Amino acid sequence: MAKFRLDKFKPIVALSVFLAAWWIVPTLSKSFLPFVQLSFAEFQAPAWIVSSYLDDLESFWARRSHSKIELIEAGQELARQKAFYQLLDQRNKSLETEVMRLESILDMPSRREFRYQIARVIRRDLNAWWQQLVIRKGEDYGITEGAAVIFAGGVVGRVVEVNAFTSRVELISSPNFRMAASFEGDVRPVVYQGVPQSGFGGPIGEVRDAPQDLVTTTQNPLQLVSTSLGGTFPPGLIIGRVSWLEPGSTGIFQAGTVQLDERLLSLQEVSVLIPLNPLNYDRNVP
C-alpha cells in the first residue's frame, strides 16, 4: 500500500494562506490606517503650533524696531479704517433690520446664522494635485468637518479634517473641492470645481453647466458667488471672476476658467463659519 504523502498538499495550503491573508490584511489595514494617520497628525501638531507662535513672536519684535513716526502714521491709518468700518457696521445693521422686516412680512424662513472663529494659518501644503492649509484651532473651538472657511476676499475652502489642536482645510483651488455656485445677478445654479494647479500664475478653478445665454469678456468679467445650495456656505460669498465661457463637452451648457483671489496662497488668518443651528449636509455637493 502506497504511503500517504502530505507534502503534495503544501502548494494548496500555501495558496489558501495567501488568499486568506489577501482578504484579511486589507480589512485590518483599513481599520488601522486612520488610527496611524491621526496619531501622526497629533504628534506633529505641537511642533507646528510652537513654530507658529515663534513666528508671531519674531514679527512682534520686528515691529518694535519701527520708528515713532511710522507708528504714528500706522495709528492714524488704523483710526481712518476704524471710522470706515464703523460706518459699514451701521449700514450692515440697518440692512439686517430691513431683511428681518421683509422676512416677517413675506412669512419667509430666516437665514442660517453663523459665528466666526478666527484661526491662524500654521502650515501650507500646496502642489499641483492638492491645495491644503493647516490652521491653529481644532475640536476645542467647536470646529467640525465640512465647516466653511472664508476671508476678506471670499471663499477659502472647507474643513476636511479636525484634530484636537489643529484642522486641515481643503482650498477652493484643490481638485478635490467642488460646490454649487451662481453668477452674480443670476439665480441659476452652476458647478464650481477646483483643478490641478500649474505652479505658474495665480490660482484658478473651473465652472461648468453655465447657461448658454451668459456672455462675459475680459473687460467686463462675471463674478462667481456661492449660493444657498452650497452646503455650509452662505449665499453671496465671492468665489472668483470668469472672463470667458465656451461650449462644454455636452454642447448644452458652457464652461470656463475661474480666476481666484491670489491672496489664497499667502493667507495668514482665516475665519471658520460655525453654524449656530447645525444641519446634516452632505459634503459632496454635486
pLDDT in tens, 218-259: 899 999 999 988 678 888 899 999 999 998 777 789 999 999
Instruction: Give the span between the Cα atoms of 227 and 189, in whole angstroms.
Output: 8
Number of domains in the chain: 2
166 assigned to some structural domain: no
Could you give the 3-state DSSP secondary structure of residue 23? helix
In the chain, % of residues over pLDDT 70: 75
Chain segment 188-205, per-residue pLDDT in tens: 999 999 998 876 778 999
pTM of the model: 0.70
CATH code, domain with 190: 2.40.10.350
Residue 240 domain flag? yes
Residue 215 within any structural domain of the chain? yes
Range of the domain at 27: 17-64
- Average pLDDT value for residue range 130-144: 89
**156-167 burial by CB neighbour count: b if 16+ within 10 A, else e?**
bbbbbbbbebbb
CA 20, CA 40: separation in Å to the nearest integer?
A: 29
d(CA 226, CA 184) in angstroms, rounded, equals: 9
